[in-house]
Structure 1
Amino acid sequence: MTEKIYIIGLGLIGGSIALSIKQRNPSVHILGYDINNDQVNLAKKIGAIDEISTELFPYLADIDMIFISTPVQQTIQIIEQLQAVELKQGVIITDVGSTKAKIVETANRYLNGRIKFIGGHPMAGSHKSGILAAKPHLFENAFYILTPSEYVTTEDVNKLKTVLAGTKANIIEMTPEEHDKVTGVISHFPHIVAASLVYQAENYEEQFPLMKRLAAGGFRDITRIASSNPAMWRDILLHNKEPLLQLFNEWILEMERIKQFVKDENSDQLFNYFANAKQYRDGLPEKQKGAIPSFYDLFVDVPDYPGIISEITGYLAKEEISLTNIRIIETREEIYGVLRLSFQTESDREAAIACIAKYSDYDTFII
């Protein structure tokens, strides 16, 4: 039975894991460490952990399970250092990194049979960071991928699954290589594309001064992931190098294909290209969490006049529906609605749709 857990890193992910464990099984004793003293002290205050560690490697010989909730590069360094630390026989160590092959490879090299390393990647997040943004339900219905190392048994994986039951996540197992290829396609490479589109807009700004203002609408939305943490994405790309290099080649071929359709003015191929993409995209699950955190946005078609924001927020306040963001859209091409409301959950957005319909005749849209 898992009685003592040590969590290294108490930001959004580590904190949410701790809260989910405590909510399901309050008797589990959680020791926590974070390089930021404020974070670890807040974690203790909100009940995410029971005890604060002032050092990275305190006495760990009685710890049953260790979660490493740090950026990928630091995770690799911690695994290397753990080989010299006195640990309990059969201790289970897991991480939350966005790449898995190099992490599991490091665990296989530096840890041995007495240490059971199971790579982990909870595919959920938030647009906020830090322990105060942590929630016990952050991973609910999200995919939580496990990539066991070579010394791990089915019993070890089941022990970790039991501890993670409080997350209410969909836990699946993959090889590290499968994980890195899949996340490369649906998460890592899209971040590269988004950043490159932003660079393209910036390069044209001097020639077209209105570029930034016109990009404030849909362009800003479709490139939002380019605002992610630069240091984190630098490390992810370096540690998922081989799958991404292959994706670069495949993407270049795809761009050459659509470029040729345009060059040849092949209207049938262009129509089919966008029709097939639309069909596949429209078939993606709408209410299921994926690799990139969802934005629960609602567009409201209202006239842009003084007081409209207070009118809409007043309706929501009556029904006690919380907003995370609100914005008037200046450019509206292919965007239905001048007002964009952002919510924390799908249920909040659905409640807002019903609320606005109840108090007004404004049309609402989800894109």
Structure 2
Amino acid sequence: MNNLTLGFIGLGLIGGSIAKGFKRADQNHHIMAYARHRSTLDAALRDGTIDEALDGVDENLSRCDYIFLCTPVSYNEEYLTAIRPYLRKDAILTDVGSVKTNIHEAVEKMGLEANFIGGHPMAGSEKSGYQYSTDHLVENAYYVITPTPFSPPEKVEELRRLALSLSALPLILDYRQHDYIVAGISHLPHLIASSLVNLVKDKDTPEQTMKLVAAGGFKDITRIASSSPVMWQQICATNRENIQAILGDYIASLEQVRTAVAGGDDEAVYDLFDTSREYRNSIPDRSSGPIKKEYSLYCDIVDESGAIATIATILAAHQISIKNIGIIHNREFEEGVLKIEFYEEDASLRAVDLLTQCRYTVYHR
């Protein structure tokens, strides 16, 4: 698995993060990439993520052991056609799409099943683009692998080990099973978050009081509504049947909740919260499970000019990088009023110690 030549078509958040992860894992990997914007390739060359920038899908790809297709799902079939003439007989083409059925069907139609193994690193961000990619985005995240009936077993195992080299958790699934699962645990939550945000927008008071006081739980469960609308439109189009089925089940469950609330069925309402709490608590904690942990703290500050700048300066002086910082206007869930997020756990722990030493009241999450 050493000294592999890896090609990337598309170098956004996911493609860029996987390429950075491979380069971190083994500097001897030779990585080439093509992206629509030359500025992306120039940035990747400057920071050492890629060794070679391609002007297009061309004969250079014939040198690749693996080609990672990291473009929006709607472009997959077009790129499959373009890549096909340059695909070595023993090379593997894989993708990172969050829906697998369409590309598997396209691969089967083109007779490329022996050269294809589907992939879906289950990590991401509400941000998009190479500038937000990191070499650790997929750490502790499931990396689903969906072979075809003709995928060489030794290549499936090699791709599994490549995922492990990214510190991801490889999981081999049938592509149909994958699409049903993500409809429930990924696609439906995005629809719920977006529809809830729009509901509040439409039902808000003329003074926008709902928007003013929205904090805590509302922001937590609607964070993903900030994701790319183009990407999620395409996901809904490509996984329509599974989403329709599970969305129908969810609507039916909401009708049951409405009936229970309207009828004063306190036992049913209690069961709703009790069973959901038990199941939610059975999901592995974010610090040890496959979901990327948010490293953050909450800090009481004096409401005066320069208070936030003072804290930011203290952290910067000790080389502690901040991912995000902002005031919490509602203390419904948190005691502190200033929330600070970090990229790494070590940075958050150092910040807690430092700010505590500076006599700030800090609440660590």
**Number of the residue aligned with 1:211:** 210
Q: Contact 1:315 / 1:359 at 8 angstroms: preserved in 2? A: no
Query: Which residue of structure 2 lines up, in the alignment, with residue 233 of structure 1?
Result: 232
- State the TM-score, normalizing by the size of structure 1: 0.90
Residue in 1 aligned with 2:112?
Answer: 112
Question: How far apart are residue 311 of structure 1 and its match?
Answer: 4.4
Render the CA deviation track for 1:73-132: whole Å, top value 9, x for unaligned: 11232124434x13211210000111112222211221335x421111111224443333
Name the CA shift for 1:297/1:185 in 2 (closer, same or farther; >3 Å).
Answer: farther
Match of 2:32 in 1: 31
Change (3 A) 1:280 1:336: farther
**CA deviation map 1:279-321 (0-9, x unaligned):** 3223332214657x65433333445344432443355345432
**1 CA distance for matches of 2:272 and 2:103?**
38
* Structure 1 residues 318 and 142: alpha-carbon distance in aligned structure 2, compared to 1, 3 A threshold: same
Contact 2:140–2:289 (Cα < 8 Å) also in 1: yes
* Equivalent-residue separation in structure 2 for 1:310 and 1:56 (angstroms): 47
In the alignment, the residues of structure 2 paired with residue 354 and residue 205 of structure 1 have an alpha-carbon distance, to the nearest angstrom, of: 41
**Aligned residue in 1 for 2:172:** 173
Structure 1 segments unaligned to the other structure (5+ residues): none
Partner of 1:200: 199
- State the 1:147 CA deviation: 0.6
Aligned length: 363
Query: Residues of 1 paired with 2:362 and 2:77: CA distance?
Result: 50
Q: Describe the SS at the equivalent of 1:136.
A: coil
CA deviations 1:216-256 (Å, max 9, x no partner) are: 55433431111110000000111111111111111111101
Structure 2: 5+ residue runs without aligned partners?
none
Alpha-carbon deviation of 1:7?
Answer: 0.9
Please state whether the residue corresponding to 1:30 is helix, strand or coil. Answer: strand
Distance in 2 (CA, whole Å) between partners of 1:310 and 1:41 is 34
2:189 is matched with 190
User: Equivalent residue of 1:146, what SS?
Assistant: strand
Counterpart residue number, 2:121: 122
Residues 1:25 and 1:320: Cα distance change in structure 2 (over 3 Å): closer
Tell me if the contact between 2:236 and 2:243 (Cα under 8 Å) persists in the aligned partners.
yes
Aligned to 1:21: 22
Equivalent residues of 2:296, 2:341 under 8 A apart: yes
User: Is the CA contact (8 Å cut-off) linking 1:96 and 1:122 kept in structure 2?
Assistant: yes
Does the aligned pair in 1 maintain the 2:301–2:360 contact within 8 Å? no
CA RMSD of aligned residues (A): 2.4
Moved more, 214-223 or 61-70: 214-223
- Residue matched to 1:102: 102
Counterparts of 1:283-322 in structure 2, within 5 Å, are 283-284=282-283, 285-288=285-288, 290=290, 295-317=294-316, 319-322=318-321
Does the residue aligned with 1:7 lie in a helix, a strand or coil? strand
CA contact (8 A) 1:140 1:169 kept: yes
